[in-house]
Structures are given as structure tokens and as C-alpha cells.
Amino acid sequence: MRRRQRRMWLLGLPWALALLATVASSSPSTDPSDRGSIFADLSPEELRAVRTFLMKRPELGLSPNQGGPLAKNSLFLVELLPPKKRPALRFLEHGGPRPRREARAIIFFGAQAEPNITELAVGPLPRPSSYRVLGFKGGRAVPFSARPMTRLEYELLYNALVAAMAPLEPLLREATGFGFQNCSERCLTFSDIAPRGLGPGERRTWMVIQRFVEGFFLHPAGLEVLLDHGDPDPRRWAVERLWYNGRYFSSVRELAESHERGTLPLARLPEPPARQLFSSYEPRGRFASGTPTEVHGAKVCEPQGRRYRLRGNRLEYGGWSLAFRLRSSAGLQLFDVRFDGERVAYELSVQEAIAFYGGHSPAAMQTKYMDAGWAMGASSFELARGVDCPETATFLDAFHLLDADGPVRFPNALCVFELPTGVPLRRHFDSDFQGGFHFYAGLEGRALVLRTTSTVYNYDYIWDFLLYPNGVLEAKVHATGYIHATFYTPEGRRYGSRVHSHLLGNI
């Protein structure tokens, strides 16, 4: 009997240990950094675990991202699926159970009867064992034609463009000195615009042909090409229309024959200089004042060390505390933002950057950019110490799984630093109106900055969240990089300004 009881006790031991582990994992934590961890980005290990789990599911039929046909099933994006607000607040405020940690996965289903884009919730992390479909209201599917561009499609698009432009090589060489065919230097490239069509189901892109030099965004060649790449088979892609130097052409052959007959007004571009190209970032010129520009300017210093604390994805500064993450799809997010212990925002995040343009050329008049479609968060490349952020800043890496076969590390993608504002937080000079004063009091103006950037091709967005000691929270974006520009024609001046000899800065 005693042996039997002992055996039953041993059999029950794993169950009891599992129960204790479950209770321990779901019990509330008093550690602030642990509270913020429910909003933390997925680790490289979690990203790999989600991808491995999904790749092994036979019903999904996933193929590697790189190589192969467009008409395949592939995993495009994996990122954190934030917990729903109600269970998150129960955990943060009332000691409720820790919300289930899940990933959001976007799959391109191209190899099936009705190609589509599907979002999945995958969990629980760190060891996923199930998934469910995240549908839209009404159960409508996202068509395959609405998918973001991938590296594979860009490669195929470039190859199709090079092949289609072969009859125009003499024209392009004569007008620009650059070309597409058998090119290793003095090459042409392109920038594509969006939306890719004017009606549902279309995937037709206007491409601005440019000379591939530093700052090629500012070197349009005068040629724009409309290419239909809606068919999953690139062999069926075709050029539908062209625009050259203010005129439309219905085919490549029509434009080539116009050049051969000598009836085409050619837009000859000057040879780009070997140095001090206007589109480069090479410093050039001097100011008329003669004040020194070759010496260092003012710098930020921390004479007694840092006045903020980073614990995982939890940031504390003065009365402020918050959790943050760098969402691959759209960018920087703040959660559970508190001042002096009181929550002032549950979530504050970058959602979208939209740029609408007008113009005389077809590419310019159709440009309506919604930059989250280019994954602004995963466009957060390395920040330069002393330029993008002060030398004193703390730099943080980011990991993304976007259009890749594994997690990719983005070094120094975020930075945190304290910044003197140059303006007193508050001050008062109490004059006695007799040449003296009763008192003077003032407080230095400072703010803590959490910064990242999104380089979406020609655009560079600098995203800042600033925390001030008086409880003010500021969100700020700085736009820099290169302007969206097209080839100059006199008619184009109705839609922008002439910024160089052959360049129009579109509005």
C-alpha cells in the first residue's frame, strides 16, 4: 500500500510542478521592466520559432522567400501582435494574468486557386503551437494584387525593364550617356511610384528612369515607363505606355522609330561632374560672412552621467515611465505612458506617412505614397553617432523578419538621449524697478528624446518622442533626404518649381 501511495505521489509530482510553473508564470510582477515586456518586440529566437513553426505546417505549403516564382506561398512578415487592451490593463493595473504572447504573421498565398494575403496570429510564444486567421469585418479577403513589393519582384521588374528597353538603347545613350544593356558603369536605374494602378486588381507601375549616380533621385532621364506586372508569370509582363520629354507613346517601338526618323525632340543631359555633383552630400561652397565652418560646433555632454534608465524596453526619466517597441510594419510605438505614476496614454504610435503629389508627367500626377506599405519600421537603418544622435546617446539594435528567410539585425536603429532645449523650462526676474531686483529664479530646459528614422527610398523621416520634466509629451517628425522630383518641362511649372536645369520639384 505504501509503495502504491509512493508511486501515485511520484506520478502526481510532474502535474504539481506544472501547476506551480503555470501559477508562477501567470502571477503579476511588481518589476516595472517586466510589466513593459508584454509590449516588447519579438526576439530573434521568437522570430525564428514562429518561422520554423509555420514553415513546417503542410497545409500552408510555404516556400523560401528568396528565389523561385512569384506564384508561391511565402511568409512575408513576422512581428509582435500586441495584446488586446482589456487583458493588458488587467495585468498592468489589477494583477491579472499575463496576456498570451503572440506574433502577427503575413503570408502571401500565391500558389492557389484564389491567391490572397492572409494575416495569422501565432502563439503562444516562445514556443508556438497553433495559429488562427485574423480576418477583416465581413470576411473579405485581401487580393494577391494588393501585396507590397518584395525583393524578388523588384529584381524581376528590373529584368523585365532592361529587356523591354533594348530598342531604346541608342536613344538613351545619345541623350544621357547612360544605358541599361550590358551595364557595369554609367547605368540607368528607376524609381517606381504608387499606387500601382487606378482600379481594383490592377498592378501597373509607372517607373521614372534615372541616371545611377549619387542622389539618383534627382537625375531623371526624361523617360517614364508604364509596365503591367499583374500576372504572376513575369513572361507575361508588358510595357503599356511611355512618356518622353513631354510626349506620350503607345509602345517602345513607336518611340524608337520616332528617334530613328529624327522627329523626336531629344532631351540631351549634361555630363555629370566627377566631383561636387549637386545631388551629393559632399560639402561645398562657403558662406559670404566668412564665419568658420570647418571647426566643430556645440556638443551635448553629460557632466555627471545619465539621468534616465533603460531596462529592457522600459524607459524611465524623471516622472516619466513607458514601454516602447519598433514595429516592423509602421515604426515606433509607445505603450503605458505614465507621468508621476498616472497613465497619460495607453498607446502613442506612428501609423502612416502619406505624400500626395501633382505633376505634368504621368508618374508625378499619379504619385500617392502611403509609406507604411514600404514597412517604415523595417526601414530604420543605422544611426550615426554625433550626427543622427549625440555622442552621449544610448543606441539600441532592432531585429526584423520582413521579406527574408530569417531575422535580420539592424544595428543602432534607435537612440535615447537627453537634450538641452536652449530655452528655460521656466524663469522669472523680479525687478524692483530701481535698477535692482528682488529675486531671479529659473530652471534649465531639457527633454529626453527617443529617436528612430525611416528611410523610405528617397525620403528620410526622423521620428522623435520628447519627454519634458513638466509633464509635456511631444511627438515630432523631421522630413529630410531627397525630394520627389521629375523631369523638367515648361508645362510642369504649374505643379512645382524648377530646382535644376532638368529637374522639377513637384508639389
- CA geometry: angle 362, 365, 366, nearest 5 deg: 85
Task: Give the closest residue to 495 by CA, choosing from 456, 457, 487, 195.
Answer: 487
Question: Exactly one of 192, 371, 388, 403 is catalytic; which is it?
Answer: 371
- CA geometry: angle 129, 130, 131, nearest 5 deg: 145
Question: Exactly one of 244, 317, 459, 488 is catalytic; which is it?
Answer: 459
CA 10 to chain centre: 54
CA dihedral 332, 335, 339, 345 (to 10 degrees): 100
Q: Three cell numbers at 499?
A: 530646382
- CA geometry: angle 498, 158, 193, nearest 5 deg: 40
> How does DSSP assign 376-433, residue by residue?
SGGG--PPPBTTTB-TT-EEEEEEEEESSSS-EEEEEEEEEEEEE-SS-SEEEEEE-S
User: Helices 252-261 and 169-176: crossing angle, nearest 10°?
Assistant: 60
Concerning whether 405 is annotated as a catalytic residue, the answer is no
CA dihedral 408, 412, 418, 419 (to 10 degrees): -110
DSSP structure class, residue 231: S
Give the other-Cβ count within 10 Å of 418's Cβ: 19
Beta strand segments in 181-230, E: 188-192, 204-211, 220-228
CA dihedral 487, 492, 498, 504 (to 10 degrees): -30
- CA geometry: angle 47, 52, 56, nearest 5 deg: 150
Tell how strand 73-81 and strand 394-402 pair up.
antiparallel
DSSP structure class, residue 302: -
Element (H, E) at 80: strand 73-81
Beta strand segments in 319-387, E: 320-327, 331-339, 342-349, 354-356, 368-370
> How does DSSP assign 6-30, residue by residue?
HHHHHHHHHHHHHHHHHHHHHS---
With a CB cutoff of 8 Å and minimum separation 6, the contacts of 121 are: 81, 102, 103, 104, 105, 131, 132, 134
- CA geometry: angle 220, 226, 228, nearest 5 deg: 145
Q: Which residues are catalytic?
A: 371, 459
